[in-house]
Chain A
C-alpha cells in the first residue's frame, strides 16, 4: 500500500545528543514536509522540500537540519542546538501543485 512511514515511533534521548527521524514515502510525491506539534499550538512547519537536492526553511527551522538525496526520503535531524526538542514530529508529502498533504503516523521525541 502507498503511504508515508516514519520511524521510530518513540525516541528517548539525552540532552546534547543529535537525533535523526526517518521519513519515507512511496506515493511518488515531489514535495515533503516536516511539522512539529506541541499541545495547543497546532502544527508548525520546520522544513520542506519540493524537489530532490533542494529544501527550504519553514517557520521554526532553528536547531533542525534536513537532507533530500532521494525523492522517497526526507530525514530530519534534531540537533543539540534545538532548545526544546521534546515534541511530536509529523512528516507529510504532497504534490508540487496545490493540494492536500498526506501524513505519516508521527514520531514522539522525548529528551531526558
Chain B
C-alpha cells in the first residue's frame, strides 16, 4: 500500500524568504505525486503534479517540486514566499494500479508567513 509522510507539521517563514516543504512517499513502482493547498474552511486546490518525465515540475503561484526517486521524495519549493501563501499544504500519492485517481494524503504542513 502507498503512504505519504510530511515530516513538518508546522513551518514559519518570513515574507520574501525561500520555502521548502518536505514530502516522502512509499510505493513500489513509479508513483503519481501531487501537492495541494488548502485555505481555512475551504476545499483543496491542486498546485502541481508529477506523472512521469522531467523530475522538476512547475505549478501555479510560483511553486515547483522535484521528484527524487532515490530519496522517495517530492519536496515543494518556492523562491520567495508571499503573505498569501499562508495555508495548509498536502502531499498526495496515487497509482494507476490502485484504482485510478484514488489518492493517499499526508497529514499536512501548516505554513505561517511572518511580515
**Stretch of B69-77, B78-86, B103-111 on the interface side:** B103-111
| Chain A residues near B (Cβ < 8 Å) | 4, 6, 31, 33, 35, 40-43, 45, 48, 50, 56, 88, 90, 92, 94-106, 108
Check: B115 CB closer than 8 A to any chain A CB: no
- Given A41-B107, A42-B90, A42-B107, are A97 and B43 neighbors across the interface (CB < 8 Å)? no
Please tell me if the beta carbons of B43 and A98 are within 8 angstroms of each other in the complex.
no
Question: Please, could you name 14 A-B residue pairs with CB atoms under 8 Å apart, sorted by A?
Answer: A6-B43, A40-B107, A42-B108, A43-B105, A48-B102, A50-B100, A90-B43, A94-B101, A96-B100, A99-B94, A100-B101, A101-B101, A105-B43, A106-B42
Contact with A along B14-42 (1 / 0, CB 8 A): 00000000000000000010101000011
- A6 smallest CB distance to B (angstroms): 8
Contacts of B36 in A (CB 8 A): 103
| CA distance in complex: A48, B51 (Å) | 22
